[in-house]
């Protein structure tokens, strides 16, 4: 976590290739081939900027939850999620109206489920990206306890 008055920078490079394709590379990391918006033209086998946007929100919420869980001594066994961006149009402008995130979380015991629900709600409301996007971010968690606990 960054202390007050500390800043961090992130750098990415996009190189246009051909037609509606480009390459995205966060400096020093893996290159991802991206294509123009699916609203413009279908490319089922490639990633669009809109998908990356939704994925980044999912990542921020996951990171915020796992940090909160660690601080609260909530033992998380697994976390996966699915995100959906809802796009609207107004006066020729296209924009996200809502991002829906559906995390599936497994904690070590049933006694930690309610606290995990509180923490995932906080993560959705207070993650870094929630402070900079204008669309609604909705989190619909499924939280359960470990299968090992259920065996005993």
pLDDT in the model for residue 5: 58
103 and 139 in contact (C-beta within 8 Å)? yes
Structure tokens at 36: 């123009």
pLDDT in the model for residue 27: 62
Residues in the chain: 152
Domains and CATH numbers, the chain: 8-47 (no CATH), 48-151 (3.30.300.20)
Residues of the chain by 3-state class (helix, strand, coil), percent to 5:
30, 40, 30
Mean pLDDT, each 10-residue run in order, the chain (152 residues): 60 73 71 71 71 91 95 96 92 91 96 96 86 90 81 48
pLDDT in the model for residue 152: 47
Cα angle 41, 46, 51 (rounded to 5 degrees) comes to 85
Report the sign of the C-alpha dihedral through residues 20, 21, 23, 24, in that order: positive
- What's the pTM value of the predicted model, to 2 decimals? 0.80
pLDDT in the model for residue 141: 96
């Amino acid at each position: 976590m960054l202390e007050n008055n500390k800043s961090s920078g992130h750098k990415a490079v996009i190189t246009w290739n051909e037609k509606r394709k480009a390459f995205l590379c966060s400096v020093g990391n893996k290159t991802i081939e991206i294509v123009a918006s699916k609203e413009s033209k279908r490319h089922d086998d490639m990633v669009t900027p809109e998908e990356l946007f939704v994925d980044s929100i999912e990542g921020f919420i996951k990171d915020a939850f796992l940090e909160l869980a660690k601080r609260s001594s909530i033992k998380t066994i697994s976390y996966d999620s699915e995100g959906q961006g809802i796009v609207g149009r107004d006066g020729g402008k296209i924009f996200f109206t809502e991002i829906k995130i559906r995390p599936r979380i497994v904690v070590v015991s049933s006694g930690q489920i309610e606290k995990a629900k509180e923490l995932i709600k906080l993560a959705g409301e207070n993650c870094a990206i929630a402070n900079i996007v204008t669309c609604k971010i909705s989190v619909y968690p499924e939280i359960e306890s470990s299968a090992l606990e259920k065996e005993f």
